[in-house]
Structure 1
Amino acid sequence: MGKNRRLSSQTPKRQKHPHTSGRGARPTGVSKSKAIARKPHSQPSQSKPAIPFLPSDRILLVGEGDLSYAHSLINRHRCKNVTATVLESSEDELISKYPSTPERRGVDENIKALKADGGALKSGVDVSRKNYMGKSRDRWERVVFNFPHVGGKSTDINRQVRSNQQLLVSFFTNTVPLLSPDPGSSILITLFEGEPYTLWNIRDLARHSGLEVKRSFRFQADAYPGYKHARTLGVVKRKDGSVGNGWKGEHRAARTYEFVRKGEGERVGSGKQGDESSDDEDVERLVIGDYHADEHDEDTYDDEEYEPHLLS
């Protein structure tokens, strides 16, 4: 009995912590040290943004919207060889479509900044048309199409997917001849994460046009001070015609895909084409089950069953 008494005195009773009882208790077999030592989740704001430009690069921006991206490339990243194009037929139409607001710099200011630093602006450029840069003999190291979209022309998901696929296939086909012959010259396209954009199968569309993915990386709008996402349809307007609070597309998760001519992509591991940047290992991908459009979105789809088809 004395032996048992000594053993009980050496083995302290397990104390019940007032905050670990019930649902909040730590599972059996999991030590406190292990629970604390979990790898912290990588936040987009904590990783260094990928900037795919050099100040000396010849850069062609298509579908530039309000030109705030071009303005940031020139003023923040010191890119001097920038040519920006817009679908609108004139500068007046562009200014009317994207008027200045308390949150958004006016297009006229962006145009002045572009031209003051030796950049060029070309209106009425439809990238779905062959030879969309006309008789220009210029060739570019980087051709950029941020957030391509045909606009909310239909509420049918299949039509929207096919229309945007057609736009991208035409763009790829018509842009390859505009790339500089220098190895590594590339086409960059940025899309929002999740559906419906994943349904476009952008990698496959590029392969059909003789391109391959060199890499993809998170698009961080904060890396381009002054940049505001511009909707294809223009600024958001209220029923009385006044300008709303603005479209906050730059705050949505987005990804940039960099395409090069076949054979020029970087190879990693066992010969697999490398299409992810180093910041992806800890990033939780955004997955959306059902797509719901809101009143400010360009994509007005019905929540019905759909079977998108890849264009051949």
Structure 2
Amino acid sequence: MKNNKKKRQNIQQKGKRQSIQKGQKSDFKRSQNQSSKAIKFYDNEDSILLVGEGDLSFTKALIQPPHSCPPERITATVYDSKELLLSKYPDTASDNLIYLNEYTVTSTNKAEDTTDDEIDDNENQQQNEKVPVKVLFNVDGTNLTKTKYIRKHKVDKCIFNFPHTGSGITDQDRNVLKNQGMSSRASLNTLTKKELILAFFKSVAQVLKPSGLVMVTVFEGLPYSLWQLKDLAKSAGFSVERSGKFDWTQFPQYRHRKTSGTGDTNRKAQERDARTFVFTRTTKASNQTTQENLKRKHDSSDSDSESD
């Protein structure tokens, strides 16, 4: 009798273990699927701020298929002046800038008395409307509110692809420090990578809408995995909502360039795995930012020095 009872208990415990293991495997598989799924950079009606654009090829890719983001919803920012940008990337920047400035949208105007079954070429005319992308130069991603236009136009999403100080440091330990330090400096060239990333998160909190998202893309592997991106974001009041692979095939026009402008990266970017992290503000940080914005709005005036 006791042996039968013990057998039943063993069978029940074994069943529970198998159920738990099955659940864990299911959760792990679900996590893997979510992790490998590419992140969508644009949703309908999103207003987007692009920070640290290189030769503006990502901006160009974003308004083309398969994304087709409306150009009027994008503000692309460049750290350099227009002159320096053109000199850094003479083979691509000029053409990309012209494309963004001259971008046109084709629409069809249908006469009011024309039905869907009655298509008349004389009454249905295509119109080309010039809708340029807003491109701002001399914009510091660690001090976004310094730019008047950005301060006055809150966004739904802020995208920062492959943040880097452009210092050219090859030593891994010094590279990590260069992209992660904590103090505030005058020039991006003197910022460590921690400084750059942390200052960016603190700055972007001031230009996001209450439910706004931040998207940061970095290469996988060393030294990028040592940057402690999620910890830095957390210290600035952000948490990871999700992450996914950066799908290069979705951005065929995008050309990843060196920040210093001395040429392409040593290894083709399309051959490297990259990951996009989507951050959202914590409730506490969101409330604090709202209060700071109200105070800043009360204290600020249009007579302040601006960069447009």
Q: Secondary structure at the match of 1:174?
A: helix
Structure 2 residue corresponding to 1:126, chosen from 136, 140, 147: 140
Contact 1:139/1:178 (8 A) holds in 2: yes
Change (3 A) 1:107 1:179: same
Q: Secondary structure at the match of 2:203?
A: helix
How far did 1:175 drift?
A: 0.4
* Distance in 2 separating the partners of 1:261 and 1:159: 30
**More displaced stretch, 244-253 vs 120-129:** 244-253
Q: Which residue of 2 aligns with 1:89?
A: 81
Q: Which residue of 1 aligns with 2:55?
A: 66
Aligned residue type for 1:65: G
Which structure's residues are more often strand, by fraction?
2
Contact 1:129/1:174 (8 A) holds in 2: yes
* Distance in 2 separating the partners of 1:245 and 1:122: 25
Q: Which residue of 2 aligns with 1:209?
A: 236
How far did 1:177 drift?
A: 1.2
Deviations along 1:161-180, whole A, 9 cap, x unmatched?
22101100000000011111
How far did 1:153 drift?
A: 4.6
Scaled by the length of structure 1, the TM-score of the pair is 0.60
User: Structure 2 matches for 1:227-242, cutoff 5 A?
Assistant: 227-236=254-263
Contact 2:144/2:207 (8 A) holds in 1: no
Scaled by the length of structure 2, the TM-score of the pair is 0.61
How far did 1:127 drift?
A: 1.3
Deviations along 1:4-40, whole A, 9 cap, x unmatched?
xxxxxxxxxxxxxxxxxxxxxxxxxxxxxxxxxxxxx
How far did 1:140 drift?
A: 0.7
Aligned residue type for 1:207: K
Change (3 A) 1:195 1:118: same
Deviations along 1:79-122, whole A, 9 cap, x unmatched?
121111111112x321211122xxxxx21221123233331111
**Any unmatched runs of 5+ in structure 2?**
1-32, 104-130, 178-191, 285-308
Q: Which residue of 2 aligns with 1:24?
A: none
Deviations along 1:111-169, whole A, 9 cap, x unmatched?
12323333111111111236243353101111000000112354554443221011000
Q: Which residue of 1 aligns with 2:64?
A: 75
Contact 2:79/2:138 (8 A) holds in 1: yes
User: Structure 2 matches for 1:1-312, cutoff 5 A?
Assistant: 49-76=38-65, 77-80=67-70, 81-90=73-82, 92-100=83-91, 106-115=92-101, 116=103, 117-129=131-143, 131-134=145-148, 136-162=151-177, 163-181=192-210, 183=211, 185-236=212-263, 248-263=268-283
Aligned residue type for 1:140: V
Q: Which residue of 1 aligns with 2:28?
A: none
Contact 2:37/2:244 (8 A) holds in 1: no
Change (3 A) 1:245 1:50: closer
Larger Rg: 1
Q: Secondary structure at the match of 1:71?
A: helix
Q: Identity percentage over the alignment?
A: 36
Q: Which residue of 2 aligns with 1:282?
A: none
**Any unmatched runs of 5+ in structure 1?**
1-43, 101-105, 237-243, 265-312
Aligned CA RMSD, in angstroms, stands at 2.3
How far did 1:263 drift?
A: 4.4
How far did 1:218 drift?
A: 0.3
Q: Secondary structure at the match of 1:53?
A: coil
* Distance in 2 separating the partners of 1:153 and 1:227: 22
Contact 2:155/2:208 (8 A) holds in 1: yes
